Amino acid sequence: MISPLRVVLSGGISGGHIFPLIAVARVLRRQLSGGVELLFIGSRGRFESDAMSAEQIPTQFVLTGKMRRYFSWQNFIDPFKVAIGFLQALWKLFLFMPDAVFSKGGSASVPVVLAAWIYRIPVLIHDSDAVAGRANHFLSWFATRIAIAYPSAHAYFPKEKTALTGNPVREELLVGSAMNGAQTLGLAQDKPTLLVLGGSQGATMLNEALLHILPQLLQAGIQVVHQTGSTNYQDILSVVKEHAIESGKGGYVAQDFFAVKELADVLALASVVLSRAGAGSIAELAATKKATILVPLQSAANDEQRMNAYDIAGIGGAVVIEEPNLGGNILLEKIIELINDPTLRTSLGEKIHAFYHPDAADAIAAGIRKIMGH
């Protein structure tokens, strides 16, 4: 009887990390005939726990520190957190002793990858962005193989162990139904629909910009589906109520977070998407050929969202609006322009589709199997 192989998944903090881990884990489960035992080790959070639990992947957590470019008293504490997290990772890996580690980067993955290097466990890291994350740039020295999503990221990693794979996308997103989306949300299938995605954590500035123009959008006959993020959900319901707008009525629907099947249907319904420029979101929009307005997060640590957005815009695959330009009428004008121009929407959708790599999860899983000798 063949013993199942063991793989540790590491990363966390956002859907941009967790969803690709899950996509690759599913492929490994399908491809490894002898079976695979999976364990997630990363940052502690309800989002990570819920997502992994839904996939029946056990979770364990380590303390993590954050690299800040600004003064904070936590800068004096975090080095101790990193040291403790490294010791925790050493112990957890010793007990599980995986055949490989697949890391998505971020501060949560640093102690896990370093501990794996100590034990000589092979590591594959994946970087989602046009600009390498600081954690991945550092961890590249300890990695066996590196997978990247953007050609521009080659500049940050050793050429001999780096391969372009793209970003994995959850398969369920490809089979959405506009009819189901409209019925579920109480909207009309034949009306133009704007979908607003701030990422799994929501986006305060994006939310505020939308709320500023929401009455005009509804008056123009545009339906609005708004993923607010759990932190902002109740506040947004209160704010729109002050403008005599209620979620679920009059063409406006607010929801804190869309599960993958719901998101697939809403994407199928959407005429235009307003989104942050996180790599995971872009991959999903590319897969579904959505006409998109990208608003890069200005405070992103390495300016990676801005680089992601302009890589897409450079081939005519998206409209980019910088945060300082969200005020006034620019956002409203761009949305209405896209709604009224189906040819432009189709062009944007076709061009952003070039950033979709349908075999990304398979390619990464193949890399993991290779470093395990399978």
Least Cα distance to 360 among 133, 100, 106, 24 occurs for: 24
- Is it true that 5-168+358-371 and 172-355 share their CATH fold? yes
Tens digit of each residue's pLDDT, the chain (374 residues) = 567 899 999 986 555 678 889 999 999 999 887 789 999 998 776 667 788 898 999 999 888 766 545 455 565 566 677 789 899 999 999 999 999 999 998 888 999 999 999 999 999 999 999 888 888 999 999 999 999 999 999 999 999 999 999 999 988 999 999 999 999 999 999 999 999 997 655 578 888 899 999 999 999 999 999 999 888 888 899 988 988 899 999 999 999 989 889 999 999 999 999 999 988 899 999 999 999 999 998 766 668 889 999 999 999 999 999 988 987 689 999 999 999 999 999 999 999 999 999 999 999 999 999 999 87
Q: Please report, for the chain, the start and end positions of each structural domain, with discontinuous segments joined by +.
A: 5-168+358-371, 172-355
* 42 touches 11 (CB < 8 A): yes
Task: Kindly indicate whether the domain formed by 172-355 is annotated with CATH number 3.40.50.2000.
Answer: yes
* 151 touches 104 (CB < 8 A): no
Which residues are CB-neighbours of 50 under 8 A, at least 6 positions away?
Answer: none
| Beta bridge mates, 329 | none
Residue entry with tokens 């704007």: 194
pTM for this structure?
0.88
Task: Kindly indicate whether the domain formed by 5-168+358-371 is annotated with CATH number 3.40.50.2000.
Answer: yes
Tell me how far apart the alpha carbons of residues 125 and 174 are, in angstroms, rounded to a whole number.
Answer: 25
End-to-end CA distance of the chain: 16
